[in-house]
Structure 1
Amino acid sequence: FEDSKRNIWVGTSTGLTCLKAIGNGKYKFTNFFSSTSATGLSGNSIKTIVEDKHGRMWIGTEHEGISIYDPQQNAFSHLKQSVNSSEGLSNNFIRKIIISKDGRFWIGTMNGLNIYDPKTNAFTVYKHDDENRKSISDNSVKDIYEDEQGSIWIGTNFGGINVTHKNAVPFQVDKHSKYRNSISNNIISVIAGLDNTHVLSGTEGSGLDFIDTRTGTVRNFQHNPSNAASIGSNNIKAIFRDNKGQIWIGLYEGGLELFDLKSGSFKHFKPNPNDSTSVSHGYVSSITQDRQGRLWIGTSSKGINLYDYEKQNFTRISSTSKGLRISNDYIRTMLGDSKGNLWVGTAVGLSIMRKGSNQFERFYKYKDGLTSDYINCILEDRSGNIWVGSHRGGLSKYLVKERKFITYTTKNGLTSDNVVGMAQDDEGNLWISTDRGLSKFDIHQRNFKNYYVSDGLPTNEFSYNAAYKASDGTLYFGSYNGLVSFKPKAISINKNAPSILFT
């Protein structure tokens, strides 16, 4: 190690040597060995060396803690694990010491990560916790490094690499793990909120997760063949909370469920070929409610169902229905807007049933400004504008007077033309999830800012129609590699590309 005075410090298994430059390429050697003296070096096996801002040398030893050399006093002081106190170092086997840009000492030991703050003269110890999925992955810390952005990278013996960022990571990612209160699956197919601190997350194959975002607890509901009141399928496709506070769940090949959160039980609505008032298909892809309070259930190949709350049955509406009928039976998404209109996105087009009408009006590709008929998601912004995301068709805004759409694509800066989800933040910006990252769209400036794995996302591929905004401003997006949540005001683009180091 070269200190600020250009002295070279060499730590070996048999002591410490300082090579002091005396001019003309010559050095004066000073050797330090383990001593019983209170001001001597504590141990001969040296593992790490660093210099603090006062010119003192911090020497990490193999079994004897840290010796701090003061050149003014020509003496050592010591930091060791206390037998009688939990404060201080967690272990005397010191493997690595660095001083971060904020002046704190990061100390890697055989048994935990220690952070020493000289301002408060206090140690904070971090150890692996089986109950905490965000704890350090292993107690045996081998190396520590701070990058240009202030992120600290921690290499461990058996737990891989951990990273902690200078500021709170703007994109919080929850993933499935072996720890308690882990989400049940990394493929998040749908998200809905109950209030500021409770989110329902549907997965592909692992049922429904009820997440308390304040405490971090997760309660999972899965199908149990021996329990008739359990959820009918573990593949969740839609979640909707109606104006009565009831929670409706759409399943893949399981029909429709009415979820009682207090009891944890589910009431099942399944298709019955002998009952035309049953739900029309087992794959429920979308659920919405219009301004009149009517509940609409969309299916993957059997059109729409209108639910009768009193009779607890359904009226089926399809492309072959008499009277009211839809242009296509493959329902992808639906929205009841604030004006009383019902929007229906299908695999081959977009339709609207305007308030007071009993017919659907279809919008056509190209003729009406849409560049794709395969509709993924529909959003009404806080100004009442309707936005449509489509497969390979980008982002489209409905122009009310013209009854046409204006479309934004990758040519305008959108990260991908496959728009799978949308949410609007408190500033009025649209956040758009795609199969190639996340885009922020300023609807006034009409420009995009894009975010990728390199910005902290767990993947660039997001799930279809899995986006939600909580009333506290937090945005949630379901991806193919975990649940992503963030406060938009905390997001900034990293303009400094990290340097590449080959090892």
Structure 2
Amino acid sequence: MADSQGAIWAVGERESIYRLDVKNGAYEKSWVNVNYSSGFPQKANFTCIAEDRQGRIWVGTDDCGVAVFNGQGWKMYDRSNALNGEHVYDIAVSPISGEVAVATSGGVALYNPAGDSWQMLDRSTGMTEDQAASARFDSRGNLWLAYGFGGVACASRKSGYSQWKTVQAPWFWDKNQFVRQPYQPLGEGLPSNACNVLECMDKDRILAGTCAGLAFSNGISSWNFVRGRDYARKNNSLYGAAARKTAIPPQGDTRLLSEDFVSALAGNGKEIFVGFRTQGVDVLDADTMKVRKRLRKGLEGTHISDLLVLGDGSVLAGTYGGGLVMVQAGASSYNLDAPEREKEPGFPAEARMEESAKVLKSLEDLGRRGDKGKSIVFKGEDW
């Protein structure tokens, strides 16, 4: 992540939270491990990072919630005081309201700085499933989720994130219900409901990286997809003659990605950077969605876990096991109009637990609803 002051942050396993500072318009030569600050979470593996509009740094973990850094120290938020799950998959910040969405194993915990309050989103509030692999806000402040196995969904800010629109791929692409991926390399809709990453671009374009290619849309209802050049090899293993007929990739087609498994996405308006599990990074033209470059140097066989586009034109790839790799060099310095921040903003308030009487009343209400045709109702996590 690049923060509002221009510094680069990188997180990883084994208590790794590093920062590379900017001084006089250029980056320092060495990274600083920020584990010296009070309250730093010990023995944690970190999964994601974001900065809120107050300048606080939010870092997700794989089993103990989210850690928030206010410039002076750290505070943990987990199922005991704020979240509805403790494995954090992603963190997103709204450009409109400043709300922070923490996508966890038990749903999405939404922090509102205006009211210093929390809102819990899960299946009981309309989500398709509790686990979202990726979360983003678009330019209008609407919340988008890419589920691990349930496609893509969007909830408007106006509805209080209570009304969800969802798009899914066909669960089977053949009448015999054998095939779980499209036969063709290009098509309409999502290619898979197994999503890895989501990105909201300029002009309200939405990108979703799946296990069977890249989907792109200008809204929730109209989607197209493009698969990787390995789609033909995967089709060869499918059942039926239809799969064998489509197992011939178009020669020299620049629309096809280098790989089906999309693991990272980023963009700068004109270009889209697509990271893969084993085949490096592709650079796409944002207007035509065709591949301009296929970047491999230093990325051979490396899992790209994240991509970062900097203001000087540089592009960094976070990898699993290979550290940070500069996939596209920029000017190495740039002028940053950094906003003034409070030196030490306060920590977010903890969520308020529901009173026992309120919980009992809601259970009684559910019991009364049982005679209306619904014998089972999901109440939500009792965190």
User: Where is the strand percentage greater, Structure 1 or Structure 2?
Assistant: 1
User: Where is the helix percentage greater, Structure 1 or Structure 2?
Assistant: 2
> TM-score normalised to the size of structure 1?
0.37
Greater Rg, structure 1 or structure 2?
1
Q: Which has the higher contact order (CA 8 A, sep 6+)?
A: 2
> TM-score normalised to the size of structure 2?
0.47
